[in-house]
Amino acid sequence: MLNYILSLFMLHPAAVNHRAADSNYNQVVTTLQKIAKANPRTSRMFELAVSDSNQTIYGLEISSNLQRVGPETEVPDLVVGTHHGNEYGSTAVALGVADSFAANPVPGHRVYVIPVLNINGYNARDRYESNSKQSFDPNRDYPGPCVGNSPRFNLKSTKALADFVDKKGIVASATLHTFWPAALYPWGLSSRDLKTEYESTFVGLAKDATVESGYQSGNSTEMLYAADGTYEDYAFWKHGIWSLLFEMGDSHNPGPEDIKKMIAGNVPGIRRFFENAPKTRAAHHAFTGKCDSSVLKRTRLE
């Protein structure tokens, strides 16, 4: 299946014409279907929502107890790729996670994998996603302690994901992006008060997640840049979800060999993250610091 996944990304985005681009997400869905068909006892497709582009956002549910009847006893975890449509390397790694976990589920865990959240951005190789009125950066479209009165959940995709993590009681989540090789944890918002009450726990989880990749690990604002309205901070701030942001590779346009390396380097780390994360949500997840918009000017890359 790995070779099939790599084949989806053989063409450089600049070489993909518009007609071919329209089929990109369909190929992702076909891949999920193939994984589910090959692993019927451990995986099944699910529908997250219909996006603003009127396309269904699909995911794969993975568990060694998939057919269990009765109260859920497994820890629910989440992998999300492609908030930013041009970051197709994150799609590839999410598919690699789905393939690996379906063949060998994480014991005691039920993992939901959503390879593409931003469908129209993915098809167009565009960072942004549009609703009926304008375009938005999906990973700035969540509420947060430093967002202020600016509206959020402008997109159906981000609102659907927020509702999903609440409904499923997600405990740990890995969101996948490119590019700046690091595993990052909250807070990543516009503040100089960046430590949560679980700094040592996050430090350990991030280090565990980067054994194979050799990536840096650390606080999101300090290592990358401050950004308000991200999923990663929202998930921890709102629910106490153990949230890691994986910035993978060194390009938004990785070739097949680069993607192969990204999958090999990050899939084991994501698995270890779920295995080692606390089995319940963080109890103390409120932001108690002071917001400081001047920190936003320290952005290292966009």
Question: What is the percentage of the chain residues whose pLDDT exceeds 90?
Answer: 85
Residue 13 has a pLDDT of 47
Q: Write the pLDDT tens digit of every residue in 202-224.
A: 999 999 999 999 999 999 999 99
Residue 9 has a pLDDT of 84
Residue 73 has a pLDDT of 86
Domains of the chain, first to last: 2-298 (3.40.630.10)
Q: Write the pLDDT tens digit of every residue in 41-79.
A: 999 999 999 999 999 999 999 999 987 755 678 999 999
Q: Write the pLDDT tens digit of every residue in 239-258.
A: 999 999 999 999 999 999 99
The pTM (predicted TM-score) of the whole model is 0.94
Residue 21 has a pLDDT of 44
Query: What is the C-alpha separation between 65 and 169, in angstroms, rounded?
Result: 17
Q: Above 60 in pLDDT, residue 301?
A: no
Residue 70 has a pLDDT of 58
